Structure 1
Amino acid sequence: MVASVEVKIGNSLVDDIIKWRRYLHQNPEISYLETKTSQFIYDILSSFGGLEITRPTPTGIVARLIGTKPGKIVAIRADIDALPIQELNDLAYASENEGVMHACGHDGHTAMLLGTAKLLIEYKDQIEGEIRFIFQHAEEMTPGGASELIKAGVMEGVDCIIGTHLWSPLESGKIGICYGPMMGSPDSFFLTINGSGGHAALPHQTIDSIAIGAQVVTNLQHIVSRKIDPLENVVLSITQFQGGSEWHVIPGTVDIAGNVRSLNPSIRGKIPGMIEKVVKGITSAHDASYEFEYSHGFNPVINNDLITQEIESTAQEIFGSAQVERIKPVLAGEDFSAYQKIVPGCFFFIGIGNEKRGTHYPHHHPRFNIDEDALPKGVELFVKATLKLLQNNV
């Protein structure tokens, strides 16, 4: 059976994976503008032969490896976009695009999926079913490329999906597994407090939007600390507070923005109302008014237990139990969750944290880099797990 075949990645393929990753790192493009990136992916995939390649969106690429007999369809997804960050690394392959950088590992995700496709083509004659390789644009920007690809039909007929994220908080080479809720929903809100400005020496003649805003900020912290079960994973952060332009003038308005992260969809649905209740109460008490907008980001990433168990056991089989770690959920967002609304799936982490190699910086940091030794491990796990998922009843 194909699933029992020992998967070996030759030095030539390892060299290719690193070469592809470095090209992508050197030529990053931000969300929805990944024109050259997608063309590079298309050209590499075309050079392999044996794949049916389409462009369901302007910068999204899907390749299909169709076996000799009908069977299950397993999808594997990688994101391809970069971030609007100026790179500070002194690398031979540092970004050549001013103000744009692969600061989240998507260059590595793309290179691993290219390597996975190239290796799996060798098993085409033994495959029953189909493997669908999804190179997704715009993961870093809502509404996200996943929803666009789904609307374009890329998930039609798919039975399950797997994906990974290179992860600097995890020791390089380790595989991070999480059952159930794994990543949070990154929501945002925007608030304007309308008071009445005036001279700083005559505050009684004003409705002080800054003083009211300060009370709003303080009281919003009570939502997590006093209104939600402390065992729930929720974060509410104020990220912007803007008002005034002169030192002796009390401004008439203040603009406040914030970020809310949660894992529980039920709790998530209650938070906008909790925020507005606080804002309404405080502004009303001080004769001010407000404007409130709440924006829902991606859904939480929630892993299917059976598929996660398959990934975990496969990783243990390949790398040994000591290299596979059960991790706690994190509240970073990921639009892989959009695929999981359609079919069961598993998202897992591959560690790249290595202080000696300088790959310990946090994601979205201008010195972020990845330990390239982790890339072949990702390919090996993808290949072995995919072959097993094609045959097993999960």
Structure 2
Amino acid sequence: MDIKDLIRSYRERIVATRRELHRMPELGFLEDKTSAYVADYLKREGLSVTTGIARTGVVGLLETGRPGPILLIRADMDALPITEATGLAFASQNPGVMHACGHDGHTAMALVTATAMKALKDRIKGGIKFVFQPAEEGPGGAKPMIEAGVMENPHVDYALGCHIWPTIPEGTIGIRAGALLAAMFRFDLTITGKGGHGAMPHLCVDALDTGCQVVAALQRIVSRQMDPLQPAVVTVGKFQAGTAFNVIPESANLCGTARTFDKAIWKRWPEIIEIIVRGVCNSMGAGFEMSYEPGYPPTVNDPDMAERVRRIAGEVVGVDRVVVPEKTLGGEDMAFFLERVPGCFFCLGAGNDAYAGIHNPRFGFNEEILLTGVETYCRAAIDLLGRSSTAGS
């Protein structure tokens, strides 16, 4: 059977799988039902399955019995703390949690790719590791899975992953060589002043006012300390202070993120931000405490791998439907896999006015695109792992 026809024969299966996963979204490192579902699916397909990696991670190994390279195909399983508002018949049954970033689709694609590649196993050598990781939305499951040994036994030679991408048209595949997503950084800040009556500010150290000055100063990092030709962003997304209209607050809590494609800047974010915070707090007579979470490095596609996947994508959707997506200052912990082996993280076009974008309570996509993702994975696997002698090559 032709590969495209084979993949089309799995349409009902992939739709049903995606919808079952969509009904049971779970937050990072709490994906117990999801990982059990994934493990059961892989076992039914006859793969060697390992569970409990980095708490809820799952690996399924498809072995051919013929010496050759190992390809890693990665999917993320976690959902977001969002109350779903799609009205779908298969909407989330876990209140306050929703697959609003397409991870249900990513997991369904990897599972059905395992089914398809089992049927196509005589066309490849080596093997395929299907890695289902927790907590992509944070704090990150890729790094602890790597530390637990998923890149070894057997050693991984290549890595592939994909993300449903509403910013490019449905029916396209997006591939960018080099950096695609930015390095992430998170900071948490507590400012401490001296509270008091709102009518007597001269007797107080206003933590709220100090926090406002800190936010304003942080916004000038990008405009005055960064190369204007290099993208970067600093955002304070959380600011909590005060309890009453006539009380000057004694403390303020801020939380934010900084993004860049430059690894050197990424590593310097704590120093850069703390200099600003210390200067403002000293000038206002306030104290502070900060904590940092480095987040994910830049997601960088190997140029040769990107070119191979670009060629394969042209076979799947047509050369004119393969596009170069814009870089984004979003982050992805697929980056950790791509730091270790040549790989490509491609974008599955989902742009459709009928659906809202990612991280939205009305997010959705046309499930037909999932077959495009599976076919791309399968053709890439055959290209990278070669044809076995039993396949007549």
TM-score class, shorter-chain normalisation, is over 0.9
Q: Are the equivalent residues in 1 in contact too, given 2:7–2:116 (CA < 8 A)?
A: no
C-alpha deviations, 1:313-353, integer Å up to 9, x for none? 11112221221111121111111111122212111110112
- Which of 176, 179, 183 in structure 1 is aligned with 2:177? 179
Distance 1:134 1:240 in 2: 33
Q: Are the equivalent residues in 1 in contact too, given 2:81–2:98 (CA < 8 A)?
A: yes
- Which of 15, 18, 38 in structure 2 is aligned with 1:18? 15
C-alpha deviations, 1:276-318, integer Å up to 9, x for none? 1111112212222221222211121111111111111111122
- Which of 353, 358, 361 in structure 2 is aligned with 1:366? 361
Amino acid paired to 1:121 = K
Q: Are the equivalent residues in 2 in contact too, given 1:56–1:152 (CA < 8 A)?
A: no
C-alpha deviations, 1:181-202, integer Å up to 9, x for none? 1112221111222222222222
- Which of 42, 49, 60 in structure 2 is aligned with 1:63? 60
SS of equivalent residue, structure 1 residue 8: helix
TM-superposed deviation, 1:123: 2.2
Identical-residue share of aligned pairs (%): 42
Distance 1:257 1:318 in 2: 43
C-alpha deviations, 1:119-173, integer Å up to 9, x for none? 111222332111111122221221x221222122111110010000011222112
Q: Are the equivalent residues in 2 in contact too, given 1:56–1:154 (CA < 8 A)?
A: no
Unpaired runs of 5+ residues, structure 1, are none
The 5 A counterparts of 1:40-189 are 40-49=37-46, 51-57=47-53, 58-142=55-139, 144-156=140-152, 157-189=155-187
Distance 2:48 2:314 in 1: 32
C-alpha deviations, 1:51-76, integer Å up to 9, x for none? 22222524222111112320111110
**Aligned-pair RMSD on alpha carbons?**
1.6
2:274 maps to 1:257: no
TM-superposed deviation, 1:211: 2.2
Indicate the larger mover: 22-31 or 196-205.
Answer: 196-205
Residue 27 of structure 2: aligned partner: 30
The alignment's TM-score, normalised by the length of structure 1, stands at 0.93
The 5 A counterparts of 1:241-256 are 241-256=239-254
Distance 2:142 2:13 in 1: 27
- Which of 258, 275, 278 in structure 2 is aligned with 1:277? 275
SS of equivalent residue, structure 1 residue 192: strand
After superposition, the Cα gap between the structure-2 partners of 1:289 and 1:79, relative to the gap in structure 1 and judged at 3 Å, is same
Q: Are the equivalent residues in 2 in contact too, given 1:353–1:371 (CA < 8 A)?
A: no
Distance 1:45 1:370 in 2: 25
Amino acid paired to 1:132 = K
Residue 390 of structure 2: aligned partner: none
The 5 A counterparts of 1:283-322 are 283-322=281-320
Q: Are the equivalent residues in 1 in contact too, given 2:73–2:159 (CA < 8 A)?
A: yes
Q: Are the equivalent residues in 2 in contact too, given 1:68–1:124 (CA < 8 A)?
A: no
TM-superposed deviation, 1:14: 1.1
Residue 231 of structure 2: aligned partner: 233
Q: Are the equivalent residues in 1 in contact too, given 2:3–2:375 (CA < 8 A)?
A: no
Residue 391 of structure 2: aligned partner: none
Q: Are the equivalent residues in 2 in contact too, given 1:178–1:308 (CA < 8 A)?
A: yes
Aligned length: 383
Amino acid paired to 1:152 = A
SS of equivalent residue, structure 2 residue 297: coil
Amino acid paired to 1:368 = F
Distance 1:329 1:102 in 2: 23
Unpaired runs of 5+ residues, structure 2, are 388-393
TM-superposed deviation, 1:6: 4.8
Runs of 4+ in 1 over 6 A off after TM superposition: none
SS of equivalent residue, structure 1 residue 237: strand
Distance 1:120 1:37 in 2: 22
Distance 2:202 2:52 in 1: 61
